Structure 1
Amino acid sequence: MGAVQHQLIVRIINKSHLMYYGKPERNCECPYKAVLEVCDRTGSVCVVLWNSVCVSWYRRLKPGDIISLRHYRVKQRYQAEPEDIEISVNSRNPTARIAVLPESSVSPQYVPQAPNYSFYNSLELLECPQGAVCDVIGLLTFSGRPERIRSKDGRGAELLEYRWLRLEDGTSNRPIMVKLFSTSQPESHRKLHPLTVVVCTRLKLIRAAGRTDSCSYLTNTTYTQLYCTGLGDHSEMSYRTLRPVRRFLRWLRSQEDAAVLSRALIGGCFVYPPPPVSLETFMKGIRGEPGFLRGSELQREMARLCYRERRTFCIQAAVTVVTYSRIGEEDRCLFWTDRASSSPSSSSFTRPSPSSSSSSPLPPLCTPRSFRPPLSSSSSSLSPSSSAVSHLSPGRSGVGEEEEAAAAG
């Protein structure tokens, strides 16, 4: 324990994301740290980069590099067993010295072992247990828009940004779904476009609670790293020689760009796993969040949302109007309305007339904003009360209800 000046030559096995530990009452110029898992032929240990050393060296170090450490401090690992130690690398007390060594400059008997990867394809992920840590490689066919959720670490103030990725590897019809949070690699995250080959290491498997359809996805751990084409990452990493990676590359050469682009998407609203169909399962999954909300409560919760923050709410209400239309044919909408003025159970279909233009606007269609075509001037001012009403037969009403249910589904 204490300050050590001897040289230590190790290989980086895993690299964490940047961690911010600043507090208002503490004055620290660079309150950042990062954790490296390193090893040599005698064992492994954690190296913690602190403050300005972290800022200077974080982007220059990657898993697989051989580094030389001098003037570091050995101490007990935080919240660990007494025999667990870590190496603290800081700019003072003492001032650390770090160097990246080419593998050819190290004697062969002292070269640390290369990092181990555990690549799983989409077929093998179906058999993996909950919480398994794995690596994946795939062709990116969907990149969701960035969204944010509140941290569940007890503080409730920090917002964590994530995006959904859909990867294909050709081993099954089920894609690999990744809920990717920040990995402190902004250059790689900006390159996430369709037809990009993506490698994600040290992901954790999550299975949706209460579902029996093998609905699962992968998400970050502390040591998750992202590599993609366009930055030269793949050619520098040792995983390129592994059998699962070479098998994927053979499948990739057989794919045509036009066929992949035909099923590729960018952005849009995406929810995965799908919401549970059982109300009991949904209530168990909210974990202390508000259950059923009334109108005033919903307005209050909506006002608390921040930019790009996503939350799920559950409301209980009576359906009074249902609209059905095809994209591009909004002026020919079908409306199902509950006419409570005549009798509580009376209802009918109405078809608006394009010539009607003196009534109140229609309720907005429940379609995503990014995919909603602009409403024409004639359709934006129609309502069932002033349109030409054509009462449909009971058989036609059943068809309309089925079409609406299909559209909602």
Structure 2
Amino acid sequence: MSHVAIRQRPVLAYFEVADCSGMMSVVLWNSLCPRFFRSLEVGTVIFIVRYVVKEAFQMRTRPVSYYPDLKTYKEIDISLNPQKPAADIKIIPPKQVKPEWRLPSIKYRFITRDLLDTLPDTYVCDVIGLVTFVGRCERIRKKDDDNAFWVRRFVEMIDQTSTKPFILELYCTSQPDIYNQLHPVSFLVCTQMRVVRNNFHDGCSIAYLTSSSETQIYITGYHKGRPYTTDTTVRRFIQWAKSQHKTDFLERSVVGGYYSFPPLPSNFQAYSQNMKDISEMDEVPKSKSLNWSWESSKWSEIKSRVKEFLSFGHLLLESCPQKFEYAKKEAIMSQHNLQSSRCSSLLFDSSNCARDFATAWSNGYYALTIVDLNQEIALDVVFLPLTTDKIFITGANDTTFISILSGGWTSETSIINGNKTVYISN
């Protein structure tokens, strides 16, 4: 549901409906939205009386149609109002649906992980998988409104066709209850997802999926009766997933932490080639052992001019990814900023309960000192490199320190125990 930016700020919601003659949008207005928004699902058959046909609002996104034989009417909408005239909406039970109505069957476009790398950019599809990672909620400022934010999180899930996971960028939309219950070892279905293909550094091309305004997500406990449960791809996945051992996936499942995606260039020169006012950085040699400190040759000179030194170089337990445990599910999700969709009387002390969870982080971390462009403020921050099993890496043998900082990863063979201190100037 959304608001229209006019004086009375009416509420509206869009639905796509179809019969044997074609497909078009239905708009619910004002009080009809909360009344029918939760009861109208994909596959629901409705009978409407006293509707108004109006010119469609063109400046909005629309779902991609999976019905090539049906005509889509984009120029007009069916408008349902609570008054003048008051629309009458009736939901038809499945047993009362008549064959002579010739209503189209619900279609999906499910893909498997082994096909993802072959799909073109912006391709729209549906996916199902077993969740192995759920990241923290992140806020992204909207470009057209400095006071508004998008909320997103990264999720990884796998299927039976590949050892590589689906990487999902999921934005929070009209399903906050499900969105905030996302956790590992659950079956996740996402519809109307869009393929994003980017050529990253060193010729590496990574395909991932991002949600659209029309995306719907469903997790374990919400699948019963959904039309997609009869899809062949879905049935094959469920058959495979039921044959797997839950304990094996629990060992691999991770919640929270920082998800570095998409990966940055593997060297500072490539990272800064399109940036202005970036001074040349000292060359940092390769090292088989990362148990060392490094300091820029410019640091002594810059340090004397620094007016303010801000220290945030202490690692908080909440920043580390943690293993998922069913018995502590609610506490773990709360700990990693997975906000609940409704107020709860159960409160958690983050400073105490974080110590009760098993961490999934075996590497150490870096304490970095960064100087602003004016060289007046220095800031201590924490940097946690990722391991190579979390993202797709090219040049995995590159262990230069600057590659670790820019790419956000470290080789599994270079496990660090303890914190390292380095100094970096702009």
Interval containing the TM-score (normalised by the shorter chain): 0.5 to 0.7
- After TM superposition, give the deviation of residue 161 of structure 1 in Å: 0.6
**Mean CA deviation greater in 182-191 or 35-44:** 182-191
Q: How far has the Cα of 1:338 moved from its partner?
A: 5.5
User: How far has the Cα of 1:69 moved from its partner?
Assistant: 0.9
Return the offset for 1:226.
Answer: 0.7
5+ unaligned residues in a row in structure 2: which ranges? 60-71, 303-308, 322-353, 356-366, 368-397, 410-426
SS in 1 for 2:154: strand
Q: State how far apart, in whole Å, the 2-side matches of 1:82 and 1:228 are.
A: 32
% identical equivalent positions: 32
**Offset, 1:109:** 0.9
Is 1:254 aligned to residue 253 of structure 2?
A: no
Q: Cα–Cα, structure 1 residues 406 and 130, in superposed 2: closer, same or farther, change >3 Å?
A: closer
SS at the partner of 2:205? coil
Tell me the TM-score normalized by structure 2: 0.64
Residue 370 of structure 1, aligned match among 310, 319, 330? 319
Q: Helix, strand or coil for the counterpart of 2:84?
A: coil
Structure 2 residue 211 is matched with structure 1 residue 220: yes
One-letter amino acid of the structure 2 residue matched with residue 253 of structure 1: K
Counterpart of 1:191 (choices 161, 172, 181) is 181
- Of residues 184, 201, 213, the one that matches 2:191 is 201
Equivalent residue of 1:119, what SS?
A: coil
Answering whether residue 58 of structure 2 is matched by residue 68 of structure 1, we say no
Separation in structure 2 between the aligned mates of residue 151 and residue 198 of structure 1, nearest angstrom: 27
C-alpha RMSD of matched pairs (Å) = 4.0
Secondary structure of 2:211's counterpart equals strand
1:59 aligns to what SS in structure 2? coil
Distance 2:215 2:12 in 1: 16
8 Å Cα contact 1:179/1:219 also seen in 2: yes
Q: In structure 2, how many angstroms separate the alpha carbons of the residues matched to 1:63 and 1:363?
A: 48
C-alpha distance in 1 between matches for 2:14 and 2:39: 14
Question: 1:336-355: CA deviations, max 9, x gaps?
Answer: 446779999xxxxxxxxxxx
The alpha-carbon deviation at position 157 of structure 1 amounts to 4.0
Q: Which shifted more, 207-216 or 156-165?
A: 207-216
Shift of 1:93: 2.0
Aligned to 2:15: 36
1:187 to partner: Cα distance:
1.6
* 1:43 CA drift (Å): 1.2
Whole-Å separation in 2 of the counterparts to 1:169 and 1:144: 19
In the alignment, is the contact (CA less than 8 A) between 2:282 and 2:297 conserved in 1?
A: no
SS in 2 for 1:60: coil
Aligned residues: 312
Contact 1:72 1:89 in 2 (8 A): yes
Which stretch of structure 1 is more off in the superposition, 74-83 or 31-40? 74-83
Deviation at 1:190, TM superposition (A): 2.3
Larger Rg: 1
Q: Which of 145, 151, 154 is the equivalent residue of 2:136?
A: 145
For the residue of structure 2 that corresponds to 1:45, the secondary structure is: strand
Could you say which residue in structure 1 is the equivalent of 2:26?
47
Maintained 8 Å contact 1:165/1:179 = yes
Instruction: Tell me, yes or no, if the aligned pair for 1:134 and 1:204 is still in contact at 8 Å.
Output: yes
1-side partners of 2:255 and 2:180: how far apart? 13
Which residue does the alignment assign to 1:176?
Answer: 166
Write the distance in 1 (CA, Å) between the matches of 2:51 and 2:296: 75
Asked if 1 retains the 8 angstrom alpha-carbon contact of 2:186 and 2:220, the reply is: yes
Q: 1:266 — aligned with what?
A: 255
CA distance in 1, matches of 2:54, 2:224: 37
Is the Cα–Cα contact under 8 Å of residues 166 and 175 in structure 1 kept in the other structure?
yes
Shift of 1:228: 0.8
**1:210: how far off?**
4.4
- 3-state SS, counterpart of residue 163 of structure 2: coil
Distance 1:121 1:51 in 2: 40
Task: Compute the displacement of 1:32 (Å).
Answer: 2.3
* 8 Å contact from structure 1 (residues 66, 100) kept in 2: yes
Equivalent residue for 1:114? 105
Task: Report deviation, 1:371.
Answer: 3.0
Contact 2:256–2:320 under 8 Å retained in 1? no
Gaps of at least 5 residues in structure 1 are 1-17, 294-314, 328-332, 345-359, 375-379, 381-400
Question: What is residue 306 of structure 1 aligned with on the other side?
Answer: none
Question: For residues 61 and 366 of structure 1, do their structure 2 counterparts lie closer, same or farther at Cα, with a shift above 3 Å needed?
Answer: same
CA distance in 2, matches of 1:292, 1:53: 52
